[in-house]
């Protein structure tokens, strides 16, 4: 079908001649994208974005392998960005999971889609699925630290404290200045009864962000650790520093 005919059919829910054509739905999506660029009102722009995603989702479901290599196909980055924008507008998390699942079908290595979908699963308390997505994201892009941070949160929710502390160790290696990672690892250690290691991480939180609310919480946790637990010699300098700071 010619592009002019395609544009004429944009307002038809099931355009004749392209109902089962992935290529047709790809083109339909791009036509809606062009209309979104011309839209003056945000409501109309969002409506066009929804039509872009719906068209591309259909193309993906039919099979992008049927689209000739010389033709333009679904752009996973645009699909992802529009899906997130629509989520921010509508708040429909379940629809966004569906949309991001289609992004991933169009590009199985799209790391950001796995991370965002995991974020939604976490918000919905579906922690196992969040962990699965983040594990895939880490396999694809092991250099991205936020994947380890996010996976550790989900492990903590499932009371898998050892796995959480392992992920946080990697997150700390990648971002050694981020106090919240030390605080979360300290909590994981505390829940494993590794109180000496927990104390050290709580102390690090106080050292990195002495005026923060997180630091206040860390100080409370430090005081809850039994006084009978004496830090090892190589760890005592930080403990002495903390004691003096409380005087």
pLDDT tens-digit readout, 121-171: 999 999 999 999 999 999 999 999 999 999 999 999 999 999 999 999 999
Residues of the chain under the 70 pLDDT cut: 1-19, 227-247
First CA to last CA across the chain, in angstroms?
A: 80
Our CA dihedral for 70, 74, 76, 80, rounded to 10 degrees, sits at: 160
In 3D space, the residue among 118, 122, 123 whose CA is nearest the CA of residue 135 turns out to be 118
Residue carrying structure tokens 């630290």: 145
Q: Each residue of 191-213: pLDDT tens digit?
A: 999 999 999 999 999 999 999 99
CA atoms within 13 A on the CB side of 218: 28
Our CA dihedral for 50, 52, 57, 60, rounded to 10 degrees, sits at: -170
Name the pTM for this structure. 0.84
Backbone angles phi, psi at 63, to 5 degrees: 130, 110
């Amino acid at each position: 079908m010619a592009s002019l005919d395609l544009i004429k059919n944009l307002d038809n829910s099931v355009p004749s001649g392209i109902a089962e054509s992935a290529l047709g739905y790809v083109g339909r999506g791009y036509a809606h994208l062009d209309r979104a660029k011309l839209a003056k009102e945000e409501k109309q722009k969002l409506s066009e974005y929804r039509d872009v995603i719906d068209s591309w989702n259909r193309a993906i479901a039919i099979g992008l392998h049927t689209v000739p290599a010389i033709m333009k196909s679904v752009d996973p980055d645009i699909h992802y960005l529009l899906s997130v924008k629509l989520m921010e507008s509508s708040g429909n998390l379940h629809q966004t999971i569906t949309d991001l699942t289609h992004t991933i079908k169009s590009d199985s290595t799209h790391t950001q889609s796995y991370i965002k979908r995991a974020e939604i699963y976490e918000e919905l308390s579906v922690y196992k699925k969040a962990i699965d997505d983040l594990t895939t994201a880490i396999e694809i892009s092991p250099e991205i630290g936020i994947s380890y941070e996010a996976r550790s949160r989900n492990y903590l929710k499932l009371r898998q404290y050892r796995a959480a502390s392992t992920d946080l160790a990697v997150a700390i290696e990648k971002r050694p200045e981020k106090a919240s990672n030390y605080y979360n690892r300290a909590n994981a250690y505390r829940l494993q009864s590794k109180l000496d290691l927990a104390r050290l991480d709580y102390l690090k939180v106080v050292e990195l962000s002495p005026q923060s609310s997180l630091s206040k919480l860390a100080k409370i946790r430090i005081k809850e650790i039994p006084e009978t637990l004496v830090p090892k010699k190589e760890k005592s300098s930080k403990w002495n520093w903390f004691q003096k700071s409380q005087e």
